[in-house]
Amino acid sequence: MNPKLPFYNRVALVTGAGRGIGKATSLHLAKLGASVICVARTQSEVESCATQAGPKALAVPCDITSPHSLQELIARTHERYKRLDYLIISSGIFHRGFLAKTPLSDFDNLFAVNVKAPLSLIQHTLPLLRENNGQIVIVNSSIIRAANTAERGLYASTQSALKSLTDALRDEINAEGVKVISIFPGTTATPRQETIHQALGKPYNPHLLLQPHDVAIALCNSLLLPPTAEATDIFIRPMHKFDTVG
């Protein structure tokens, strides 16, 4: 591995690494020299990502909503690398439906996956991150700035809650040398977005959308700022403008 690469000798843990933005970020970090812990629920997808990321990568199939799974994840991270420099959270689920008809069980599940699980993962990884003046990146959604969130209100509320937690975390741990960054992508060509278009019966033109690699580049660049600077909220959107569907 080339010691001149910007992430040489750095270790990154990426959730949602099986596909979309998480996978693109994992591969870009590896290209720039990082050892990447690829985390996702689906074993075949996360193993494929780690294989593409190279011999320094580690595939960890993991449900981050499970405290036991998180404990095993941290144990494997420490055993293999003895350090953690970057935590990138790029996992979550989408929900569409009218609030008046949404079962409260959907509410519980969405907040468990999109808000509680990221906070739990942060709590588990902070000791390692503090040791190396690490950085935390939360991939959120530009839906927090949407003018109309009809049928997406529950999902939007989880993203707003996640932003509030991220902002508070930054206020609490910046003094310890840990940076906290939020990335807010616009409509991105991911498997989730393809599914949303299909469900709505709308044509899916991924070449007109933001690409996962676009987000990965912006994310990795934000990690390379000098110690005297910190990015906080990065909004990135497609060059082609259109009516959003998800």
What average pLDDT is seen over the chain? 95
Average pLDDT of the residues in 183-204: 90
Write out the H or E segment, with its range, that includes residue 67: helix 67-81
Assess whether pLDDT exceeds 90 at residue 173. Answer: yes
pLDDT at site 105: 96
**What is the C-alpha separation between 163 and 176, in angstroms, rounded?**
20
pLDDT at site 2: 83
Band of residue 62 on the pLDDT scale cut at 50, 70, 90: very high
Assess whether pLDDT exceeds 90 at residue 241. Answer: no
Give the rounded percent of residues in the chain with a pLDDT score beyond 70.
97
Average pLDDT of the residues in 85-99: 96
Assess whether pLDDT exceeds 70 at residue 5. Answer: yes
Give residues with Cβ within 8 angstroms of 40, minimum separation 6.
15, 16, 17, 18, 19, 22, 46, 49, 61, 62, 91
Domains in the chain: boundaries = 11-236
Band of residue 199 on the pLDDT scale cut at 50, 70, 90: confident
Strands 135-139 and 86-89 turn out to be parallel
pLDDT at site 242: 61
pLDDT at site 246: 57
Class of domain 11-236: alpha beta
Average pLDDT of the residues in 218-222: 98
- Segment 107-164, tens digit of pLDDT: 999 999 999 999 999 999 999 999 999 999 999 999 999 999 999 999 999 999 999 9
Residue 118: name the closest of 64, 182, 169, 42 by CA.
Answer: 64
Assess whether pLDDT exceeds 80 at residue 217. Answer: yes
pLDDT at site 71: 96
C-alpha to C-alpha distances, 79 to 38, 75, 173, nearest whole angstrom: 15, 6, 25
Assess whether pLDDT exceeds 60 at residue 240. Answer: yes
Assess whether pLDDT exceeds 80 at residue 212. Answer: yes
Assess whether pLDDT exceeds 60 at residue 99. Answer: yes
In the block, residue with structure tokens 């970020």 = 25
Give residues with Cβ within 8 angstroms of 60, minimum separation 6.
37, 38, 39, 46, 73, 76
